[in-house]
């Protein structure tokens, strides 16, 4: 299958997906998310693959959902697009996924990384949930999975104040598994994925499910609440202003409306 916005390859039993919109810092538009879901589902079905790696490039894992695609959307349009269905497809992947993160890992990009099972970060990685600067809030699990990973204090700073954290901070906070030099982050992620891929496939599958279950019991409720709030924000003037200001490269003027 040929893709427009991602590249795929296999390295022995590891399936590798690279987000490939470098000029837009791998911003996650609908097509990227669709292609990513299709590619991961294909690797998930392939008995020759035991583990997957998702990566971007050195400058950006992904700088978030595509602001230009959603800037003009209303609440109704956001609900009707039902982009969350693609994110739900990622959650149903049975084989483990390692995120190999370098550079910007923001908004939906960070939500994608935290939805993976392990994260290998380069020393240059920066993690953040800057949606607040656009007059909205995280909408794909950012208030839930991030909080479970790093705890309330740091999550509040990241979500309410848009603070970016470094790779070392992310390691200390328990968000990532390891931090390595930028030259080797992808190789390290593939090596880790290769080790997991060499293990008993069914045990790995059920073990992944079991570890995730530890976090899932009340997560679904939290994510559903988060989604409703996120869609609701597309009825505000501040969302329009925040996204338009980003596109026009100026500071937003908030009205609280
Ligand atoms: N969307 C669209 N374009 C983006 C982008 C984004 N998120 N991030 C960067 N770009 C584009 C820039 O517009 C610029 O394009 P041109 O001007 O060259 O055409 C190009 O990428 C390079 O960016 P910069 O020139 O800005 O590069 P800098 O190094 O100066 O700055 C930056 C890098 C990452 C600090 C900056 O680009 C930035 O602040 N980007 C926006 C980060 C952000 O706010 N991310 C959160 C987006 S909201 C949901 C699913 C997901 C989500 C929500 C709901 N559901 C399914 C319900 C997620 C929401 C988000 O992620």
**Domain segments of the chain as ranges:** 6-182+210-214
Say what the pLDDT of residue 181 is: 98
Say what the pLDDT of residue 254 is: 87
**CA 54–ligand 1 middle distance (angstroms):** 19
Rounded distance, CA 164 to CA 67, Å?
A: 18
The atom number, within ligand 1, closest to the CA of 86 reads 56
Q: Is the CB of 33 under 6 A from ligand 1?
A: no
Residue of 37, 60, 65, 155 with catalytic role: 65
Token pair, residue 124, equals 């240059």
Place of tokens 């996204």: 243
Is residue 131 flagged as an active site residue?
yes
Q: Is the CB of 127 under 6 A from ligand 1?
A: no
With 0-12 / 13-18 / 19 or more C-beta atoms within 10 angstroms meaning exposed / middle / buried, residue 222 is middle
Helix (H, G, I), strand (E, B) or coil at 100: strand
pLDDT in tens, the chain (257 residues): 789 999 999 999 999 999 999 999 999 999 999 999 999 999 999 999 999 999 999 999 999 999 999 999 999 999 888 888 899 999 999 999 999 999 999 999 999 999 999 999 999 999 999 999 999 999 999 999 999 999 999 999 999 999 999 999 999 999 999 999 999 999 999 999 999 999 998 899 888 988 888 887 677 888 888 888 899 899 999 999 999 999 999 999 988 88
Is residue 183 flagged as an active site residue?
no
Residue of 34, 131, 188, 226 with catalytic role: 131
Architecture of domain 6-182+210-214 in this structure: Alpha-Beta Complex (3.90)
- What is the pTM for the complete model shown? 0.93
> Which of 143, 160, 167 lies closest to 229 in space, CA to CA?
143
Is residue 128 flagged as an active site residue?
no
CB atoms inside a 10 Å sphere around CB 31? 15
Q: Which of 24, 25, 163, 250 to mutate to test ligand 1, by most ligand atoms within 8 A of the CB atom?
A: 25
Is residue 9 flagged as an active site residue?
no
The atom number, within ligand 1, closest to the CA of 64 reads 61
> Which of 147, 117, 113, 134 lies closest to 225 in space, CA to CA?
147
Say what the pLDDT of residue 215 is: 81
Say what the pLDDT of residue 37 is: 97
User: Cα–Cα distances in Å, from 217 out to 146, 175, 213, 223?
Assistant: 16, 20, 7, 11
Helix (H, G, I), strand (E, B) or coil at 108: helix
Handedness of CA 199, 114, 14, 180 (dihedral sign): negative
| Residue 171 near residue 129 (C-beta atoms within 8 A) | no
CA 72 to chain centre: 22
Helix (H, G, I), strand (E, B) or coil at 156: helix
Say what the pLDDT of residue 61 is: 98
């Amino acid at each position: 299958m040929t893709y427009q916005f991602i590249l795929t390859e296999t390295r022995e039993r590891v399936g590798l997906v690279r987000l490939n919109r470098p000029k837009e810092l791998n911003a996650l538009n609908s097509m990227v998310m669709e292609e990513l879901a299709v590619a991961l589902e294909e690797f998930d079905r392939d008995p020759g693959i035991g583990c997957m790696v998702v990566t971007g490039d050195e400058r950006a894992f992904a700088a978030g959902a595509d602001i230009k695609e959603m800037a003009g959307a209303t609440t109704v349009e956001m609900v009707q697009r039902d982009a969350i269905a693609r994110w739900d497809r990622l959650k149903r992947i049975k084989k483990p996924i390692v995120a190999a993160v370098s550079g910007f890992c923001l908004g939906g990009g960070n939500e994608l990384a935290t939805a993976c099972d392990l994260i290998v970060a380069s020393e240059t990685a920066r993690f953040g949930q800057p949606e607040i600067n656009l007059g909205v809030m995280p909408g794909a699990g950012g208030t839930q999975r991030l909080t479970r990973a790093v705890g309330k204090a740091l999550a509040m700073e990241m979500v309410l104040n848009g603070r970016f954290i470094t790779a070392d901070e992310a390691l200390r906070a328990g968000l990532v598994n390891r931090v390595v030099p930028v030259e080797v982050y992808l190789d390290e992620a593939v090596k880790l994925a290769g080790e997991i891929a060499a293990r008993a496939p069914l045990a790995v599958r059920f073990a992944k499910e079991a570890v995730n279950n530890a976090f899932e019991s009340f997560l679904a409720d939290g994510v559903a609440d988060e989604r409703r709030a996120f869609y609701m924000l597309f009825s505000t003037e501040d969302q329009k202003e925040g996204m338009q200001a980003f596109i026009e490269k100026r500071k937003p003027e908030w009205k609280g409306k």
